[in-house]
Amino acid sequence: MSYHFALIGCGHIGQRHAAQIARFGRLDAVCDLDEARSQSVANQYGARSYTSISAMLAAEKPAVVSVCTPNGLHAPHTILALEAGCHVLCEKPMSISRESGLRMIAAAEKAGKRLFVVKQNRYNPPVEAIKALIEACKLGRIESFQVNCFWNRPIAYYTNSWHGTRELDGGILYTQFSHFIDLLYWLLGDVKTVQGLRANYSHGDHIEFEDTGAALLQLENGAVGTVQYTVNSHHSNMEGSISIFGSKGTVKIGGQYLNQIDYFSVTGEQAPALPAGQSANHYGFYQGSMSNHDKVYQHLLCALDDPAYRFVEAAEALKSVDIIERIYAASPLLP
């Protein structure tokens, strides 16, 4: 079945969504406060351009709305689309508070529509391979872990932007590293206890939160580990990795974007031969996570066609928001 889509937000990530929508469905309408940007994307894909979400939803009848606006607007924009009778695919993070995420879920239930959330790093070949090992109990009892998120975001990234604000950005765990928190939960389970520290060392008044943090976590399964994160890696992104230590093996998913297996020692197992992964997302003077949005839309269509098909829906996506909120609550910002 071919689905009709509308797109809210025509920035870098919105344009990536537009390209995939054009591949897998039909893009009928786009909306952005920047009229020139909205019109440019509309012209590229033969869609209609709007600067008002309410006007677009009143005039159009899309089956699905893709929400690609700043983090703090995901909740209100998603709720508007659900109330208009549309399914929603929301970019990460689902929201920047558990409370707003619950309102999104309530709106979906009331409308009888489905709310999906983008978690494209779950489709990285090394991540899929290690997930299969864990599900087959090949690593044994999981004892400890280490998550490293060492990226670069210069001051220019935050200048004249919603990035860096508590209201619309929320913090670097939401904007840069929510995928790592999602994968920690997806691979190893929920968090039991948290303690941590945060600091803003290099970005001054350009951001309203940390540029560096470290947290010590105990998981519900008893494993203990750390999450260390910064956007102060000199000049460029350095590493994005997850190391897992089990009673029968140790593995490290690494590279800059969780795009390779850096270490593999598992009893009775050989390191998997992996297909080539996607390249990183390029956004001008910085890079983001691997680009798997084609897989996101493939799975989205399967889920829309088959209600029993497993795809990331709101209740599951809210777990990473909850964990990030708990890390921040337990991590004082140093003066």
The pLDDT of residue 155 is 97
> How open is the CA angle 143-147-149, to the nearest 5 degrees?
175
The pLDDT of residue 269 is 97
The residues spanned by each domain of the chain are 4-120, 123-287+315-329
Q: Which CATH architecture has domain 123-287+315-329?
A: 2-Layer Sandwich (3.30)
The pLDDT of residue 287 is 53
The pLDDT of residue 1 is 75
The pLDDT of residue 281 is 52
Cis peptide before 70 (omega within 30 of 0): no
The pLDDT of residue 289 is 55
| pLDDT mean values, one per 10 residues, the chain (335 residues) | 95 97 98 98 98 98 98 98 98 98 98 98 96 98 98 96 98 98 98 98 98 98 98 96 98 93 97 75 54 94 96 97 98 97
Give pTM, 2 decimals.
0.95
Structure-token pair, residue 295: 């897989």
Residue with tokens 């937000």: 9
The pLDDT of residue 279 is 56
CATH 3.40.50.300 holds for 4-120: no
The pLDDT of residue 280 is 55
Structure-token pair, residue 190: 């929920």
The pLDDT of residue 138 is 98
Distances (CA, A) of 135 to 122, 132, 184, 219: 14, 5, 14, 17
CA distance 46 to 44: 6
